[in-house]
Structure 1
Amino acid sequence: MPLINETDLWPRTKRALVPADSPDERTSPDRPSAQDTSRTAQRTPISENTPIPQSTPIPENTAISQSSALHDVLTARRSVRRFREDSVPDTDLAAILSLATSTDRQMWPHGAVQSTPQAWLVSGLTGTSEVRLRRYAPGQDMAGERPAGEFTDHGDCAVLAPLAKRYVPAPVAVLICAEITDSGGANYTQALLRASAFGYNAWLAAVAAGLGGSVHGRSSSEVTRIVRRHTSTPARHLFTLVLGHPAEAPDSGLDRE
């Protein structure tokens, strides 16, 4: 879990698991409660130990903090079902997917190339613009730096518009795919594990960046056919992550996952 400082794991987890009727145990004197967002909204600098607030966009080539406090991440990590129509800048998406890619490479240094997660982005599911399909292509790891990546536009893909009903209308849906060589063997199992880990890491990175999202673990043969038809790749859909700016406050009915 790349967003959590390892030294915070046990004490933060203990506080997070204490019953809600013991607020003093859950909230340290210098940290606001889960319902009190006034102080977190005032965070402005992007530093090694400070989560990126929702009002602050991620500057290009700026690494997302890997040491956000566990309590903050657990409190903010909610499954969002309603999003604003605001688009998510490519710089934010690139930073989020770059972190997920870097983490995947650390977790699977000897993983099969065929099971490497692919991120296909679908924009326009909110109905405010045409539905477009793009692929995120990660860069090569550099010493001490996360891989920079770029997006390849595969054009208008209106056939993907029903995804808004299948998942949720959101500015961005990330279709996580992989090229699977054996449908029921070790390569398929590894691809599923990597795709789900990639999706959750990208979700946590988005939360640290002030966005919201929800994950959908079920694969879709229909999405697989569409992606293959429009991109001429053997990719198979395995996992979906939707991202955007939450339309509601954290305590207004959002689901914890």
Structure 2
Amino acid sequence: MPIVPEGEFFARVLDSLTSPLQAATATATTPVPPRLGRPVEQVLSTRRSVRSFTAQPVSRDCVEAIGQAALDIGGDTSLIISARRIEEVSVGSYLFSRGTGLTPASGLHLGPVERVYADAAVLLMICGDLATACDRDGVAGYSRLLVQAGAAGHAAWLTAVSLGLHGSVHGRSFSETDEAVRRSFGWSHLFTLAIGHGC
């Protein structure tokens, strides 16, 4: 028996794919591929894990659509973006939040994440406050936060695929990144999505 009814799952994924993508299409500075708004089944069937990326940058509007899709489905998770090749965005670490989008995370040094995960244009780090989750929900808080992080990561990945990008998901945390995130925000690094134009 599935944890989430199949119809509800596909409805939520479809909504997370279409809402932010329509906004990105309206404001994109680089052409958005015509595959936008494809049926969920087509997006799922074309999704492939890609770990090698070109030097081509990703548009900021696409990154913001991907981040919004993650937050829309990710519950109590928070996003940190390691920007390596985003149009009109300096290389560095950024917080991503609803309404404000990318905000520089001054003083946050994530370590050599491109060597741990992939040399992608964007590394989306999904984080969460484990202490608060466990205080609120006991042992179930930990499990719930991990499920939310996985859901956020996959919603972001599907959105990236809809935008003609490629990606790969990484479930393990990098200790140097986790320590930096914990020092700066009190969060734990739970899940990572590498995004870019695949080779």
TM-score range relative to shorter protein: 0.7 to 0.9
Distance in 1 separating the partners of 2:85 and 2:74: 27
Distance in 2 separating the partners of 1:66 and 1:210: 8
The unaligned stretches of length 5 or more in structure 1 are 6-47, 106-115, 140-148, 248-257
Q: What is the CA RMSD across the aligned residues, in angstroms? A: 3.2
In the TM superposition, residue 151 of structure 1 has moved relative to its aligned partner by 1.3
Instruction: Give the percent of matched residue pairs that are identical in Structure 1 and Structure 2.
Output: 32
**Structure 2 residue 98 is the aligned partner of structure 1 residue 138:** yes
| One-letter amino acid of the counterpart of residue 167, structure 2 | G
In the TM superposition, residue 76 of structure 1 has moved relative to its aligned partner by 1.8
| One-letter amino acid of the counterpart of residue 152, structure 1 | T
In the TM superposition, residue 123 of structure 1 has moved relative to its aligned partner by 1.6
SS of match in other structure, 1:58: helix
**Structure 2 residue 144 is the aligned partner of structure 1 residue 190:** yes
- Specify the alignment match of 1:233 in structure 2: 185
**Structure 2 residue 170 is the aligned partner of structure 1 residue 203:** no
Write the deviation string for residues 97-135 of structure 1: whole angstroms up to 9, x where unpaired: 212322345xxxxxxxxxx11110002289xx9751101
- On the 8 A contact 1:125/1:163 being kept in 2, the answer is no
- Specify the alignment match of 1:162 in structure 2: 112
- Specify the alignment match of 2:7 in structure 1: none
- On the 8 A contact 2:44/2:158 being kept in 1, the answer is no
**Structure 2 residue 45 is the aligned partner of structure 1 residue 75:** yes
SS of match in other structure, 1:160: coil
So what's the TM-score if we normalise by structure 2?
A: 0.73
So what's the TM-score if we normalise by structure 1?
A: 0.58
Distance 1:164 1:125, change over 3 A: farther
Superposed, which structure 2 residues align to 1:1-257 within 5 Å? Answer: 1=10, 2-4=12-14, 58-60=25-27, 68-104=38-74, 116-124=76-84, 131-139=91-99, 149-155=100-106, 159-181=109-131, 182=134, 185-229=139-183, 232-247=184-199
Distance in 2 separating the partners of 1:244 and 1:86: 8
Quick one: higher RCO (CA 8 Å, sep 6+), 1 or 2? 2
| One-letter amino acid of the counterpart of residue 60, structure 2 | D
- Specify the alignment match of 2:6 in structure 1: none
Q: Which one has the largest radius of gyration?
A: 1
